[in-house]
Every structure is written in C-alpha cells, then in structure tokens.
Amino acid sequence: MLLSTCLAVTWVSLKLAEIAKVTRRHELAALSDEVYRKIVFDSRVSTSIASLPGMRELTTVVGSFSKAYAHEA
C-alpha cells in the first residue's frame, strides 16, 4: 500500500485510521511518501500512518531533508 503526497493530499485522520485497519488486518506493508509532510497549508495537520497503533512495524516512511526545510517561499 502506497500513501503519497504528490497530489497535495492531507489524509483525514478518520480515513487514515480506516486504511491502517485494513493494512493491519491483512498484514500488508505500507510505504508512506512523506517528502512534503512539513509543508501544510490551511491550518491542516499532517499525520503519519506510522504513528497510528500497530502501524510502526508495518510502515516504511520516505522523507527528504531538502524538501522539508529548503523549499522556496
């Protein structure tokens, strides 16, 4: 299962919890693309699926220092 931010989507916590439930039930691996996680607008909150109960062991998070801290204003 791949969760990506390339479409500028901030996952709603309820939807993310549903995805996590299915992932745990079927013992799937989750790959979470969080390259742009720190760049959030409209007072939204970015939640990593790895932070949800039982998901840390099933999730690989991809990030980028340069994307998170060196973006253009």
Q: The domain containing residue 8 runs over which residues? A: 2-69
> Based on the structure, what is the number of domains in the chain?
1
Q: What is the pLDDT of residue 51?
A: 92
Q: What is the pLDDT of residues 14-70, one digit of tens each?
A: 888 999 999 999 999 999 888 777 777 777 777 888 999 999 999 999 887 776 566
Surface-to-core class of residue 49, CB atoms within 10 Å of its CB (0-12 exposed, 13-18 middle, 19+ buried): buried
pTM of the model: 0.68
pLDDT at 2 over 90: no
Rounded CA-CA distance 51/31 in Å is 13
Q: What is the pLDDT of residue 35?
A: 77
